[in-house]
């Protein structure tokens, strides 16, 4: 009973990283819009860097989700 409660609390705490990733993705694309508005001729390069930032930020979110699932189902 107590072990199950600890697993649920640990998994809940592990998912806090998902909120940070969501804020990071919003920040990346918000900055893309601002940068594109300032210099439209650099749009192709800006989009490439935005996709790289999105992929790295999303990887952190997937790591956090993986840790939550490991806590719930592996222990």
Domains and CATH numbers, the chain: 2-73 (1.20.20.10)
pLDDT at 17: 85
pLDDT at 61: 92
Encoding tokens for residue 2? 């107590």
Predicted TM-score (pTM) of the model is 0.79
Average pLDDT on 38-62 reads 94
Dihedral of CA atoms 38, 42, 45, 51 in degrees, nearest 10, equals 30
pLDDT band at 75 (very low <50, low <70, confident <90, very high): confident
61 DSSP 8-state letter: H
Proportion of the chain in helix, strand, coil states, percent, rounded to 5: 95, 0, 5
């Amino acid at each position: 009973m107590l072990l199950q409660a600890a697993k649920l609390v640990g998994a809940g705490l592990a998912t806090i990283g998902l909120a940070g990733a969501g804020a990071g993705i919003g920040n990346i694309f918000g900055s893309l819009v601002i940068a594109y508005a300032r210099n439209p001729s650099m749009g192709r390069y800006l989009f490439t860097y935005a996709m790289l930032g999105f992929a790295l930020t999303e990887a952190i979110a997937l790591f956090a989700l993986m840790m939550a699932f490991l806590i719930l189902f592996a222990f």
